[in-house]
Amino acid sequence: MGGEEVNTGCEENTEASGPSLLILEKLAQVTTGPGVYLMKDGENRILYVGKAKNLRRRLASYFQRMDRHPVKTGVLVAKIADFDTILTESENEALLLESTLIKRHRPRYNVILKDDKQYPFLRLDLSHPFPNLTVVRRIQKDHARYFGPFSSGGAVRETLKLVNRTFRLRTCKDTVMKGRSRPCLNYQMGVCIGACCKEVDTDAYRRNVREAVLVLKGKTPVLLTKLQREMKKAALAQNFEKAAEIRDKLFALERTRESQVVVATDLVDRDILGRAEVPGMGIFTLMRVRSGLLVDTRHFAFRETLADPGEQIASFIRQYYPEQPQPPREILVPEDLEDREALSEALNTWTGKKVTITRPLRGEKVKLLEWAKSNAEKELEERMALRQGDEAVLETLAAKLGMGGLPHRIECFDNANISGQNPVTGMVVFIDGRPDKNQYRRYKIRHVPEQDDYAYMNESLRRRFAAEKLEGPLPDLLLVDGGKGQLNIAIEVLKDMGVFGSFHVAAIAKMDTEKGESEDKIFIPGRMNPVNFGKDPQALFLLMRIRDEAHKTAVGFHRKQRNKSTLHSRLDGAPGVGPKRKAALLSHFGSFKKLLAAPVEDISSVDGFSPQSARRLYEFLHSSELAEAGFKGIGVTGEDV
């Protein structure tokens, strides 16, 4: 239940003040039953959401004997100006309500897992007569089986390659399979069974699928034993061709197993949780063990929190496991959990499987927890070293721009258009010198009829800082691309919106080499000349990197809008192509140019297109009428800009 780091200067002031009269009066009226509590600051913002079997006892633990709190906890509790409580019928109801409220409000001092990306999964649709594996980023409730998550795109591709080649599963899409008239190259190479064109025994293919599932579930040792038995049986029956095929599978699987680390001898599927924390940052390390083999290690960062270690771990479990398709039989945790039984019951409901949460006190499992903890400490040490480097750059930047504090949150705006067509603005957010892509925003320009970069910036900034629908906290530094002109526009808008002076603002302009300039320029209000970064270029490089990220975001969004409008307009009148098929073509090809260059077979692989409808669209795209209309002159339309 983590929030953002706060520079409180608590090392110098360790004396905690007592709770307010309002809090004491409300505390006396709190029930002793189960429920959820919401801590609020002086501006009625929710700081923290927690649950308790006994609300009065839990809340009293915050506000009584505040001088005995650890320094960090005392400082955070001192920010609490009020609280609300919600009673529930049971502890389980409180647990579910707490999770819902955390997702809705994302309180500053709750553990909010900061996973930098959506990890990939492998999807297997068993409803197809010849199922195949595909890479996806989201789990859908579609009755398919999902395996993962994998630590990276490279890891999932390597696994997919191994499984497909070992078990000769098809790699083509369903629509491509329907339209094939001859087997693909994979069949010629002997790594695909050729189900698209050849008479293939469905049962034999399904047997291969079941074996692939065992590997993906981490049950390779079980499969190896099974295959060794089948190979001996085939050899005794003098079916040497089948025995050789099984032998090749065994070799491939043994090579993979050799690269994995054996960490447990009982072959139980379990996850091991490690935790490390220093002021301002914490790390959860999750080590996934399947059939005694370590298959994956992942790290999750969290910020400052009011939760104690046990509450932190319980929060991690509640956020992480409901989304996992393959929960383990056992989760090893390094702390006692107050709500362990309720949490286990909730896990069983969420995952549909019995999951045991255990804190071992002796033996091999304790060593596994120590291993996870050492990995968490190592990851935390590396991240803190990176943060210290980032903070040094931010300190330099703050000094150069005359800021009173560090620019923890920097927002940057940039426009993109071609001759006034499909104008957009991209907004990027950097937190402590690092991009936070979840907070990026993209604006379609709605009210500027002619090309005008200043007007585009004006509209986007007004939408960003409109008080009635303010998106997220205000930045510490607002950066606009375009030099003094855009800086003046930003100042004018911020004054009109009543937020000028609430944060710092600057503009960045490209260097003019014809004038002998050697670096980009940073302008700030009230100063004629650009800021001189002298012998401290790292701060300037950070602003340049933020500007480049804003430019990339704006251009990417503009390209998407342009391709969409181009493809939609040029497909008007195409036989059998309605809005859904247009959207499918855009998603598949990305641009009209790529669609125009695609053969019939590629078009037929798009969802909703049969070989016949693909042929009709191909003929329409390459008809003489379309060429005469100028659609083949796409190279001069700005499509490639």
5 domain-assigned: no
Percent of the chain with pLDDT over 90: 20
Looking at the domain assignment, is residue 332 inside a domain?
yes
In a domain, 494, yes or no: yes
Is residue 10 assigned to a domain?
no
The pLDDT tens digits for 616-625 are: 888 777 764 4
pLDDT band at 9 (very low <50, low <70, confident <90, very high): very low
Last residue of a domain, one of 317, 346, 381: 381
Q: Which residue has the higher pLDDT, 181 or 57?
A: 57
Same structural domain, 443 and 464: yes
**48 pairs with which residues across the strands?**
39
C-alpha span between 52 and 561 (Å, rounded): 49
If one counts the domains in the chain, the total is 5
Which strands, in side-by-side order, build the sheet including 121-124? 133-136, 121-124, 145-147
Q: Distance (Å, rounded) from C-alpha 457 to C-alpha 454?
A: 5
Same domain, 528 and 611: no
Question: How far is Cα 79 from Cα 65, in angstroms, rounded to an integer?
Answer: 16
Looking at residues 23-46, what average pLDDT do you find?
Answer: 88
* 11-27 per-position pLDDT tens digit: 333 444 566 778 888 88
What band does 505 get if pLDDT is binned at 50, 70 and 90?
very high
Cβ burial of 95 (10 Å; 0-12, 13-18, 19+) is buried
303 and 375 belong to one structural domain: yes
Mean pLDDT of 20-36: 86
**What CATH number is given to the structural domain containing 319?**
3.30.420
**pLDDT exceeds 80 at position 425:** yes
Is 423 in the same domain as 309?
no
pLDDT of residue 629: 45
Residues 248 and 281 grouped into a single domain:
no
113 CB-near residues (< 8 Å, 6+ apart): 284, 300, 302, 316, 319, 320
Most confident of the following: 55-69, 114-128, 347-361: 347-361
Residues 285 and 367 in one domain: yes
- The closest of 407, 402, 410, 417 to 449, measured between CA atoms, is 417
Both 537 and 406 in a single domain?
A: yes
Same domain, 255 and 275: no
- Cα(368)–Cα(365) distance, integer angstroms: 5
pLDDT digits (tens, 9 = 90+) for 257-294: 545 555 666 778 899 999 998 877 899 999 988 877 78
Same domain, 176 and 199: yes
Contact 6, 113 (CB under 8 A): no
The pLDDT, as a whole number, for residue 275 is 94
pLDDT digit string, tens, across residues 146-185: 887 776 677 777 778 777 777 778 877 766 676 666 777 7
Residues 413 and 509 in one domain: yes
pLDDT of residue 495: 92
Contacts for 378 with CB less than 8 Å, ≥ 6 apart: none
The rounded Cα 418 to chain-centroid distance in angstroms is 31
Can you tell me which residue has the tokens 């993906």? 216
Structural domain for 74, as ranges: 21-105
Contacts of 341-347 spanning 24+ positions with Cβ under 8 A:
342/91, 342/92, 342/95, 343/95, 343/314, 343/317, 343/318, 345/92, 346/92, 346/95, 346/96, 346/318, 347/317, 347/321
Both tokens of 325, joined, read 């398709």
pLDDT value for 228: 79
In this predicted model, what pLDDT tens digit does every residue of 193-252 receive, in sequence order? 777 777 777 888 888 888 888 877 777 777 777 777 878 877 887 777 777 777 877 766
**641 in a domain, yes or no?**
no
The radius of gyration computed from the CA coordinates of the chain, to the nearest angstrom, equals: 30
Angle at Cα 494 formed by Cα 492 and Cα 495, nearest 5°?
A: 65
Query: Does residue 389 sit within a domain?
Result: no
Average pLDDT over every residue of 40-45: 87
Helix/strand/coil percentages in the chain, nearest 5 = 45, 15, 35
Higher-confidence residue of 492 and 114: namely 492
Name the DSSP letter for residue 571: T
Question: Residue 562 domain-assigned?
Answer: no
- Which of 554, 589, 609 is the last residue before a domain boundary? 554
State whether 550 and 407 are in the same domain: yes
Are 144 and 208 members of one domain?
A: yes
CA 598 – CA 322 distance, rounded (Å): 41
- Mean pLDDT of all residues in 626-640: 38
Q: Is residue 89 part of a domain?
A: yes
Better-scored residue on pLDDT, 534 or 47: 47
- Here the CATH number for the domain that contains residue 60 is 3.40.1440.10
The last residue of one of the domains, among 226, 259, 292, is 259
CA 169, 172, 175: angle at the middle one, nearest 5?
130
Which sign does the torsion angle of CA 61, 62, 65, 69 carry?
positive
Q: What CATH number is given to the structural domain containing 469?
A: 3.30.420.340
CATH assignment at residue 598: 1.10.150.20
